Chains A and B, each alone.
Chain A
Amino acid sequence: MEWNCTLTEDRLSDYLDGTLSREEAAAFEAHAATCAKCAKLVADVRGLVTRMQKLEPLAAPPMLVTRIVNATTGPQKQSAGWKNVLAWRPAVLQPRFALGLVTVAATILILMYTAGFTPTRWKHADLSPGTVLRTANRQAHLTFAKSAKFVNDLRVVYEIQTRLQPEAEPQQAPAVPQQNSSPANPQDRSQASPHPGHSQARTGVLLASLL
C-alpha cells in the first residue's frame, strides 16, 4: 500500500487509537520508519496525548458547590451542623491557607510566650486584662534587663581585650618609640619591652576588680 506524509498526518489519531486496519498500520509504520519528519510528528503527538490523558484535573474552587447550591435551592439550613463546618475543609487544605494558618498559629504562640503565658499551666485568672498587662510588663522588663546584662558583659570582654592588646602594639610599630627613647633610661626600657610576669599580674588585678 502506498503511503505518504499527508496520509500520515490525516490518519495519525486513527493509528494512535489502533483503529487502522493491519495493512494500513503496516504501511503507516513503514513510512514513519523512513521519514524523519513523520517519525518526529508521531512521537510528539503520541507523547502529548499520553501526557494530556494522565494530567490530573484541576481542583474546583472550594466554595463553588456551596455557591451553586445556595443560588439554586437556597442557603443550607443551620441544622446541617458539622456538614457546614466540613464544607470549609477543602479551602483549609489548600497549601496557601494551610501555610497561612501555621504562620498565624506560630505568631500567636510567640506572642503568648513573650507575654509570659504558658499554655500548659494557665488559669482563668491569667486571662484577665490586668494580669495579662502586668505579666507583659514584667516580661518586658526582664527582657530589657537581660539585654542590658548582655551588653554589659560584652563591654567587659571588650575592656579586657583592649587592655591586653597594647602590649603587642610596640613590637609591631617600633619606629616612633625607638627614636624618642634613650637606652640609658631604665623606665623607657621597661615600657618598650615589658616583663611577661608583670603583664599576667596586671590581668589578674583587672579581672579581680571586674568580678
Chain B
Amino acid sequence: MEPDAQLVQDCLRGDGPSWEELVRRHARRVFNLCYRFTGNSTDADDLSQEVFLRIYKTLPSYKASYGAFPTWLTSVTRNLLVDHYRRTRRDRLTDSIDDENAPQLEEKPSAMRSPDKIAEAGELSAQIQEGLAQLSPELREAVILRDLQGFEYAEIQAVLQVPEGTVKSRINRGRIELAKILGDMGLRPN
C-alpha cells in the first residue's frame, strides 16, 4: 500500500484514482469522528463531505512538516466540527428561547432521540454515544481522539493546538465523567 504522502503527491499531479484512494482510506475515520462528536449520522455524512471538499481545495498547501496526513486531516475535521458546534449551539439557544419548557436542549442534542440511535449497531456503542453527548465539547473531542480514534498524546496536541498537560488533563477528566455518566445510566463498564 502506498503511503499517504505519495498519494498526496500523486493527487497534486492531478491523478484522480489517487485522490479516490486517499478518500477511501480515510472516509471511515472522518465519518466516525464526526458521528461521535455530533451524535447524528446525517450531520456526520454532510460534515465528512465538507471535510474532504476542504482538503481537496487546500491540498496544495499541505506540507509534510505539518505532521502526518491523518493528523492534518483530523485538524481540518476538528475545526469544521467546532464551527458546526458553534453554529448549532446558536440554533439550540434560539430553540430554547422559543420553548421555555425545554431548557435542557442545549445539553442533550435532540439527535440523541432520533432513529439514528435506534439504528445503531451495538447497545454499548449507543450508550457510549449517549454518554459522550453529555460531555463538554472539549472533553468529548479529547476522549474521542484518544480512546475511539487511537491517537497518541502528541498527535492530539497537534490537532487541538493546546499544551500536552491540557490534553492529558482533558482526557483524564473526560474518562472519569463518562464513566460516572454511564454508571448513572446503569452501565457497568467493567
Interface residues in chain A, defined as those with a beta carbon under 8 Å from any beta carbon in chain B: 9-14, 41, 43-49, 51-53, 55-61, 64-65, 67-69, 71-73
Contact = CB atoms under 8 A, between A and B. Distances in A.
A72 B53 CA distance: 6
A154 B152 CA distance: 77
B189 A68 contact: no
B180 to A, nearest CB: 8
Contact of A71 (B53, B180, B182): B53
Contact of A59 (B23, B24, B28, B48): B28
The 9 closest A-B pairs by CB, nearest first: A47-B190, A47-B189, A48-B189, A13-B172, A60-B31, A52-B147, A44-B179, A72-B56, A68-B52
Contacts, number: 107
B175 A49 contact: yes
A56 B172 CA distance: 22
A202 to B, nearest CB: 67
B31 A58 contact: yes
Contacts of B175: 12-13, 45, 48-49
Interface residues of B, number: 41
Given A13-B168, A49-B175, A61 B23 contact: no
A64 B27 CA distance: 8
B113 to A, nearest CB: 19
Interface in B111-170: 120-122, 124-125, 128, 143, 147-148, 150, 168
